[in-house]
A and B are shown apart, each in its own frame.
Chain A
Amino acid sequence: MIFEGLSERLQETFKKLRGHGKLTEDDVNEAMRDVRMALLEADVNFKVVKDFVKKVKERAIGQEVLETLTPAQVVIKIVNEELTALMGGTQSKLNISSVPPTIIMMVGLQGAGKTTTAGKLALSLRKQGKHPLLVADDIYRPAAVKQLEVLGKQLDIPVFSMEAGTDAVTIAKESVPYANSHAADVIIIDTAGRLHINEELMQELTSIKSEVKPHEILLVVDAMTGQDAVNVAESFNGSLGLDGIVMTKMDGDARGGAALSVKAVTGCPIKFVGMGEKLEALEPFYPDRMASRILGMGDVLSLIEKA
């Protein structure tokens, strides 16, 4: 493993230091080097790491080392608390409109998991007694419409599509009267993947937005994303104004530092996480779980919590 757990690293660091009584500035500076590396290796954005480390440092200096905790554990406790706080509360709620239909729009980079997540959301909403309609609004990717249709068939949820050549704004617009006449109360629009720097395609999204006025615009982000996650989130948020984030592919071994990065730059809540390719594999987001994942230390944390 290239990644050595933060806790082992900190233990090692504190072995070299004295760390009795209060944590001195030197102790903390030394420890913050480990914290910084751990976060960078988890793909947390460099700038986010910088601010974060500064904050933790301020809190840690002068901190009493209790008998029950080692200096390393004291630092981890602070890091974990700050990280959890930064990630925000549990936010699995979608904005549901009091006047149906509620319109949800999925956006994001190519291959992030928009179409799959659209299917997952439709299933989850139906379980809550809603009547979703999936809208095939990706007019570019080969077989994108077919993909959504297959998912719709698997779930027995209707899919709205229009003939090839129809532009994405028209499809979105036409889906609303269709939903109304077919008793659908939630519309989930699956858009094509696009790069945040592609102005023409970003414009398409803003046109869809102004046409249908979605109640919820969700940015779908791959948990494996690296340092660029902040630029992606900033651009999408800047052009569209996001309501929430979905982190996908969390069933792998990526530490998912991108979650912290996108949260930090957009302030948007992470509403769901994708835990697999199956349509049931959608879960609410838990900030504390995410924090221990980023730090790579589930067990250590539960020990500290007991202390």
Chain B
Amino acid sequence: MGFFDRLKKGLTRTRETLTAKIGTAVLGYADISDDLLDEIEEILIMADVGVSTTEKLMQEVRKGIKKKEIHTPADLKPFLENKITEILLEGGAGVRMAAVGPTVILIVGVNGAGKTTTIGKLSAFYNYYGKKVMLAAADTFRAAAIDQLEIWGKRTGAEVIKHEEGSDPAAVVFDAVKAAKARGIDILIVDTAGRLQTKTNLMSELEKINRVVGREIPGAPHETLLVLDATTGQNAVSQAKLFTQSAPVTGVVLTKLDGTAKGGVVIGIKSELSIPIKWIGVGEGIEDLRPFSAEEYSKALFDK
């Protein structure tokens, strides 16, 4: 199966809950009515598009009706498709790489979002493209977090820099940056412990890690990726806001998109935050990571 077909398959459930439902809804009405609009609103919210983004989209629809861009219920689906695609396409999302020396990628997020697994997948991805990858085990808190990262390191041929459980994560990162420079590493990926964005002490630990990296390699971390679980609801916005305050987030990795019926969260995140989605996780396996392409995503979503 090609990349696009796999993406499309992964989004089947999203398509069923979002786009197919809109298609069915419009068939049930001869004219545009409040009931129809309520039904559309309901479909968007059920897909976790988010309350404010849904409101925004519904305002656009009402404007479209006034401006006679929408005449019949059948016009609604293409209209929404265009608006959603616009949201998804806004702003570019290239990956920032260091001009010389190691590119440092810092991985942050709340507990259990999928950080360590994503690192394993990223390591495999860069390894496949011939890059020398190193992993830093800066989650020194969670039970067996270091062992988990080491298994991923083994699977993907990446060296893991670690200290003991319970040690200072910033010190691990310091050592890892030194080692990466000394050993001509292309990509250094830093795993951090999961933390809820409201825990100020843990968030300042993240600031410290960020500072250490920046001091050792000017311009680093080149990427700070926030890992978000796609099953998350409205809290995603709070996560993005507060993590960005401690470690300027350059992109989002949206995990567990294989399971939820709600890939719609992508639309909400893109619309409410100015942070681009860079990767999506579609399974627990080593290959289950895809670069996020807004074009492909909206095509797969609307079954084009």
CB-defined contacts of B151 to chain A, threshold 8 Å: 142-143
In the assembled complex, the CB of A233 is this many whole angstroms from the nearest CB of chain B, namely 12
Query: Do the beta carbons of A111 and B234 come within 8 Å of each other?
Result: no
Contact of A249 among B51, B196, B233, B265 (CB under 8 A): B196
For the complex formed, measure the closest distance between the CB of B146 and the CB atoms of chain A, giving whole angstroms. 8
Residue from the set B51, B151, B165 with the largest chain A CB neighbour count within 10 Å: B51
Contact: B284 with A151, CB < 8 Å?
A: no
Q: How far apart are B178's CB and chain A's nearest CB, in angstroms?
A: 26
Contacts A40-B51, A257-B233 known; A226 to B144 CB distance under 8 Å? no
A278 → chain B, closest Cβ, in Å? 10
B110 at the A interface (CB under 8 A): yes
A226 close to B198 (CB less than 8 A) = no
* Complex CA–CA separation, A289 to B142 (angstroms): 29
* Size category of the binding interface on chain A: 35 or more
A254 contacts B143, CB within 8 Å? no
Number of interface residues of B (CB under 8 A): 47
* Residues of chain A lying within 8 A (CB to CB) of residue B141: 277
Q: Which of A43, A113, A140, A229 contacts B112 (CB 8 A)?
A: A113
- Does any Cβ of B come within 8 Å of A154's Cβ? yes
Contact of B229 among A2, A144, A146, A224 (CB under 8 A): A224
| A41 on interface, CB distance cutoff 8 Å | yes
Are B284 and A140 in touch, CB under 8 angstroms? yes
- Known contacts A2-B52, A41-B51, A142-B148; A226/B110 CB under 8 A: no
When C-beta atoms are compared, the residue in chain B nearest to A42 turns out to be B234
Q: Residues of B contacting A63 with CB < 8 Å?
A: none
Whether B197 sits at the interface, judged by CB under 8 Å, is yes
- The yes or no answer to B114 lying at the interface (CB within 8 A) is yes
Residue in A42, A43, A143, A198 whose Cβ sees the most chain B Cβ within 10 Å: A143
Judging by beta carbons under 8 Å apart, are B112 and A46 in contact?
Answer: no
Any chain A CB within 8 A of the CB of B46? Answer: yes
What chain A residues lie within 8 Å of B198 (beta carbons)?
251-253
Q: Which residue of A lies closest to B113 (CB)?
A: A111
Q: Which residues of B contact A229 (CB under 8 A)?
A: 231, 233
In the assembled complex, the CB of B230 is this many whole angstroms from the nearest CB of chain A, namely 9
Which chain B residues border A258 with CB–CB below 8 Å?
233
The A-contacting residues of B in range 126-162, CB under 8 angstroms, are 141-145, 147-148, 150-152
A-B contact pairs, 26 of them (CB 8 A): A2-B52, A2-B272, A40-B45, A40-B51, A42-B234, A110-B284, A140-B284, A141-B284, A142-B147, A143-B151, A144-B144, A148-B143, A150-B144, A150-B165, A151-B143, A222-B229, A222-B232, A225-B232, A226-B232, A227-B45, A227-B233, A228-B48, A232-B231, A251-B199, A252-B199, A255-B235
